[in-house]
Amino acid sequence: MATTPVRQQTISRAELAEFIRSPSTIRKFENLQSNVEEALPGNVDDIRAIAQAASDLSLLLQNRSYIVFNAEGDLDNSRSLAATGGLEVVDGPAPNTVTIRTKDLLSSIAALSSAGFIVRNGTSALTRVLLAASPKITIANGSGVTGDPAFNIEESALDLANMGGTLGIAHGGTGATTLAAAQAALGFDTVASTGDFKQRAAATFPAGWVRANAGTIGSSGSGATRANSDTQALFTLWWTDFTDAQVPIQTSGGAASTRGASASADFTANKRMTVPVVADVSPLIGAYKL
Q: What is d(CA 116, CA 142) in angstroms, rounded to the nearest whole number?
A: 8
pLDDT of the residue at 1: 42
pLDDT of the residue at 211: 82
Q: What is the dihedral of CA 219, 223, 228, 233, to 10 degrees?
A: -50
pLDDT of the residue at 3: 47
| SS3 of residue 259 by DSSP | coil
Pairing of strands 216-218, 226-227: parallel
Q: Quick count: other Cβ atoms within 10 Å of Cβ 243?
A: 10
Q: Which residue intervals of the chain are DSSP H helices?
A: 13-21, 23-39, 44-60, 104-110, 179-186, 232-241, 263-268
pLDDT of the residue at 35: 60
Query: How does pLDDT run across 216-229, given as a tens digit for each residue?
Result: 999 999 999 999 99
Mean pLDDT by 10 residues, the chain (290 residues): 49 66 68 57 61 63 53 59 74 76 71 77 76 81 82 71 58 66 70 80 81 87 92 93 90 91 94 79 56
- Whether residue 273 contacts residue 235, with contact meaning beta carbons closer than 8 Å, is answered with yes
